[in-house]
Amino acid sequence: MVQRNGAAQREMPVDLRSDTVTRPTDAMRAAMAEAAVGDDVFGEDPNVNALQERAAEITGKEAAIYTPSGSMANLLAMLTQCAPGDTVLLSEDAHIFTFETGSIARIANVMTKTVPGEYGAMTPEAVAQRLVLGENDHISRTTLVAMENTTNRGGGAIYPHEAFKGVAEVARENGLRVHCDGARIFNAVVETGISAAEYARHVDTLSFCFSKGLGAPIGSVLTGDSATIRRARRFRKMLGGGMRQAGVAASAALYALEHHVERLREDHKRARSFREALTDTPSLSFPMPSPTNMVYVRVPDTEAFIARLREQGVLVMAPVANTIRVVFHLDVDDAGLERAIDAFKTAAGELAA
């Protein structure tokens, strides 16, 4: 029998593990229930088509393709813009490099060369130093540079705009393509006032996710020029990403674009309040700034700390060794924020070395 939303979900913990854990709101569910659908593999789903048009419009690109996940959107960027054996330059902290199961090596057959940098951002100089170009038969040519904005492992850092433009310029001057993994690009947009189209203008392809801060249950998009997106459709089908009546999900993404972008500021505000409330707690430290919806916290004993939080109904995880990541999102309100602060204070007090 279908499990319905209701009593079972009322006593929910404060889930700060990721902004991917959000559940569709009642209004979003209503939009999904009412969505007209068609077969998207035939290009006939009206909501998928509307979503793709809207995504292209927001980013100022010619076209867009809806994908089941951000990982697939990133992989499509590699498959469409690199030949097997080419090299992709990206940050050593890039999600594409660290958290996508090596798919760009296994499936797109590209080599990666990582670039060090602060909070997941590369400098134009560091990128320029690592380019391998030319017709020499021995080399793997660099053909694509990938940036991430905001950066997940960089604490939700916003790419400094000068660096973002500078990296793209170095790449383009050398005839390379540029991809932006913009899984959380709207977190950067609301914080900086720089539009998605301005970010996208500097890159050939930009992906973003509906299933993170925007609060939709499924899906991402890859935007770019028409020829690249046309090729991406073939690769998406090859990967098993042709989703038939996907309008049920795409309607949630359309709803999210209309109603959940501006509210990302609330997540950023709660992240700042959380950090401020804990700043003077002796056993806690903060290894990086928290400009958007994430706070990374160093704690005395990660495993014991996470377990103690869980006992208090607060869920977190430690994607980086010895460091807990706390992510604010649509399903965390002020009461949740207060519960999280109290739980951290209790655990810090009990587990202080």
Ligand X SMILES: Cc1ncc(COP(=O)(O)O)c(C=O)c1O
Which residues sit at the interface with ligand X, rule CB under 6 A? 69-71, 74, 95, 148, 152, 181, 183, 209, 211, 220
- Closest listed residue to residue 351, CA positions, set 313, 304, 298, 314: 304
Considering the complex, state which of residue 21 and residue 197 has its C-beta at the smaller distance from ligand X: 21
Considering the complex, state which of residue 142 and residue 207 has its C-beta at the smaller distance from ligand X: 207
For ligand X, which residue has the nearest CB?
70
Q: How far is the CB of 95 from ligand X (least distance, A)?
A: 4
Helix H or strand E encompassing 251: helix 247-259
Considering the complex, state which of residue 210 and residue 343 has its C-beta at the smaller distance from ligand X: 210
Q: How far is the CB of 94 from ligand X (least distance, A)?
A: 8
Q: How far is the CB of 302 from ligand X (least distance, A)?
A: 20
Considering the complex, state which of residue 19 and residue 86 has its C-beta at the smaller distance from ligand X: 19
- Angstrom distances, CA of residue 234 to CA of 71, 73, 85, 197, 304: 16, 13, 20, 26, 47
Considering the complex, state which of residue 327 and residue 341 has its C-beta at the smaller distance from ligand X: 327
- Angstrom distances, CA of residue 262 to CA of 79, 293, 339: 33, 13, 24
Considering the complex, state which of residue 183 and residue 309 has its C-beta at the smaller distance from ligand X: 183
Are the C-beta atoms of residues 169 and 146 closer than 8 Å to each other? no
- Closest listed residue to residue 123, CA positions, set 175, 167, 174, 168: 167
Return d(Cα 95, Cα 322) in angstroms, integer. Answer: 19
Q: What distance, in Å, lies between the first and last C-alpha atoms of the chain?
A: 49
Using alpha carbons only, give the angle 189, 193, 199 rounded to the nearest 5 degrees: 55
Length of the chain: 353
Return d(Cα 332, Cα 330) in angstroms, integer. Answer: 6
Q: How far is the CB of 19 from ligand X (least distance, A)?
A: 8
